């Protein structure tokens, strides 16, 4: 019975940490999500990518043709229509990430889609 209680405790701890990483505003700071590396940009579109850069997506600055904000999503489109979605748990955080994207990709069109 003690082993099962230990497993439950570990699962509960893991769940709490996962929820904190996924929903904490600390992990959605625009400079943590869109990291300017000079000629390239690291997009940390997943919570685990904000902890470890190996999980992020590195793209050239001229890759992005359009930046779009739709509710809690910021989407970066390239010229061929492929996209990278960045989800934020709150609209306010998504708006900050959108503003950061507009500064990082000044040549890209910016679009706000109203709900």
Give residue limits of the domains in the chain: 2-113
Residue 112 has pLDDT above 90, yes or no: yes
The pLDDT mean for the chain works out to 88
What's CA 115's distance to the chain center, in Å?
20
Residue 60 has pLDDT above 80, yes or no: yes
Q: Which has more confidence, 17 or 67?
A: 67
What's the pLDDT at 21? 72
Structure-token match 């503003």, residue found: 99
Q: What are phi and psi of 31, to 5 degrees?
A: -75, -20
User: Into which CATH architecture does domain 2-113 fall?
Assistant: Roll (2.30)
Pairing state between β 64-70 and 57-60: unpaired
Read off the pTM: 0.82
Q: Which has more confidence, 1 or 68?
A: 68
Local confidence band at 5 (pLDDT 50, 70, 90 cut-offs): confident
Calculated CA dihedral for residues 95, 55, 18, 115, nearest 10 degrees: 30
Q: What are phi and psi of 10, to 5 degrees?
A: -65, -45
Q: What are phi and psi of 46, to 5 degrees?
A: -120, 150
Residue 46 has pLDDT above 90, yes or no: no
Residue 12 has pLDDT above 70, yes or no: yes
Calculated CA dihedral for residues 32, 34, 40, 45, nearest 10 degrees: 100
Cβ neighbours of 72 (radius 10 Å): 17
- What is the average pLDDT across 45-60? 81
């Amino acid at each position: 019975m003690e082993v099962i209680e230990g497993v439950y405790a570990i699962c509960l701890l893991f769940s709490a940490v996962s929820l904190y990483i996924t929903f904490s505003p600390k992990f959605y700071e625009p400079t943590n999500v869109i990291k300017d590396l000079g000629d390239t940009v690291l997009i940390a579109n997943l919570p685990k990518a904000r902890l470890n850069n190996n999980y992020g997506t590195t793209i050239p600055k001229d890759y992005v043709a359009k930046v779009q904000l739709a509710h809690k999503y910021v989407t970066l489109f390239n010229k061929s229509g492929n996209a990278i979605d960045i989800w934020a748990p709150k609209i306010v955080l998504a708006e900050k990430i959108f503003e950061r994207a507009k500064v990082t990709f000044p040549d890209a069109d910016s679009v706000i889609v109203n709900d």
